[in-house]
């Protein structure tokens, strides 16, 4: 079964918009796990515009053995309380770290790594995270020419950037993008890599992706899931996702 990791960043966005401590991402993580999800994802940025460093630490303490996935840009230098992705991982030792090439100017992640440019810089960072004991996943575009190089860097998985697929699905014709995701996943599997997926996935488009990649290890979903939960409740929404993944 494909595992569901719930990204609680949007809970932090709502809290930060008002100040204070409510709603608390830690309580959201606990509620998501109680509803049956398999793990929790956070994506702290150096500017700490949503999930903050103290949230990362508090959530780690509250997981009770559930899987923790921390996403982030490994190239972003320390800033203020943000010590850098590798040091943050060293402090809480998550099960998985997903490396994402995003910058402060991006509202959200919108592309994967270009390994022709980034491989040399990534290699020591992947090694450092593996030495900590983390599984390492690289955020990659569907159809990227260098999927096979991910394994050469020592990473364990890719996470397919599914934004283009989700946008095509919403427009009514996702066949080309879905095929690109499936072909990318198969190339990764043949290289000995696990396959995760994430970005703009929701209850409408997730089933088709899951059927196209039956060996999909994990999906990380936050924005749509939290938005849908406003209307249906968090526990009901998570159970809906779990039902789609178990088909």
DSSP state of 154: T
Q: Can 43 be counted among the known catalytic residues?
A: yes
pLDDT value of residue 72: 96
Which residue is catalytic, options 38, 50, 67, 71?
A: 71
pLDDT in tens, 115-154: 999 999 999 999 999 999 999 999 999 999 999 999 999 9
pLDDT value of residue 106: 62
Which residue is catalytic, options 38, 43, 50, 218?
A: 43
Q: Model's pTM, two decimal places?
A: 0.96
Read off the pLDDT band of 177 (50, 70, 90): very high
pLDDT in tens, 48-84: 899 999 999 999 999 999 999 999 999 999 999 999 9
Work out the average pLDDT over 102-121. 84
Q: Burial level of 183, CB count in 10 A (0-12/13-18/19+)?
A: middle
Task: List the domains of the chain with CATH numbers.
Answer: 3-245 (3.20.20.70)
Residue 28 pLDDT greater than 80, yes or no: yes
Work out the average pLDDT over 217-244. 97
pLDDT value of residue 115: 97
Residue 227 pLDDT greater than 90, yes or no: yes
Which residue is catalytic, options 38, 159, 177, 199?
A: 199
CB 116 within 8 A of CB 90: no
Read off the pLDDT band of 220 (50, 70, 90): very high
Distance CA 232, CA 83 (A): 37
What percent of the chain lies above the pLDDT cut of 70?
A: 98
Q: Can 199 be counted among the known catalytic residues?
A: yes
HSE (side-chain half, CA atoms, 13 Å) at 92: 26
Give the residue from 95, 36, 23 showing the smallest Cα distance to 235: 36
pLDDT value of residue 107: 67
What percent of the chain lies above the pLDDT cut of 90?
A: 93
């Amino acid at each position: 079964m494909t595992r569901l990791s719930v990204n609680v960043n949007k809970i932090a966005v709502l809290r930060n918009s008002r100040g204070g401590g409510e709603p608390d991402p830690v309580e959201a993580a606990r509620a998501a796990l109680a509803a049956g999800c398999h793990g929790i994802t956070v994506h702290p940025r150096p500017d700490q515009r949503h999930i903050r460093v103290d949230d990362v630490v508090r959530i780690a303490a509250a997981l009770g053995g559930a899987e923790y996935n921390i996403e982030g840009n490994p190239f972003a230098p320390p800033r203020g309380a943000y010590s850098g992705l590798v040091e943050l991982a060293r402090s809480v030792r998550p099960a998985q770290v997903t490396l994402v090439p995003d910058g402060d100017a991006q509202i959200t992640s919108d592309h994967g790594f270009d390994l022709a440019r980034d491989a040399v810089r990534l290699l020591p960072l992947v090694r450092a995270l593996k030495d900590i004991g983390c599984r390492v996943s690289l955020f990659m575009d569907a159809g990227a020419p260098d999927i096979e190089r991910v394994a050469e860097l020592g990473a364990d998985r890719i996470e397919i950037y599914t934004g283009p697929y989700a946008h095509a699905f919403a427009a009514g014709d996702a066949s080309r993008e879905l095929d690109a995701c499936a072909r990318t996943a198969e190339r990764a599997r043949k290289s000995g890599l696990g396959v995760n997926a994430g970005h703009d996935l929701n209850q409408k488009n997730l089933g088709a992706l899951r059927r196209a990649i039956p060996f999909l290890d994990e999906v990380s979903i936050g924005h749509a899931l939290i938005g849908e939960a406003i209307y249906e409740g968090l526990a009901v929404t998570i159970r809906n996702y779990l039902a789609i993944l178990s088909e």
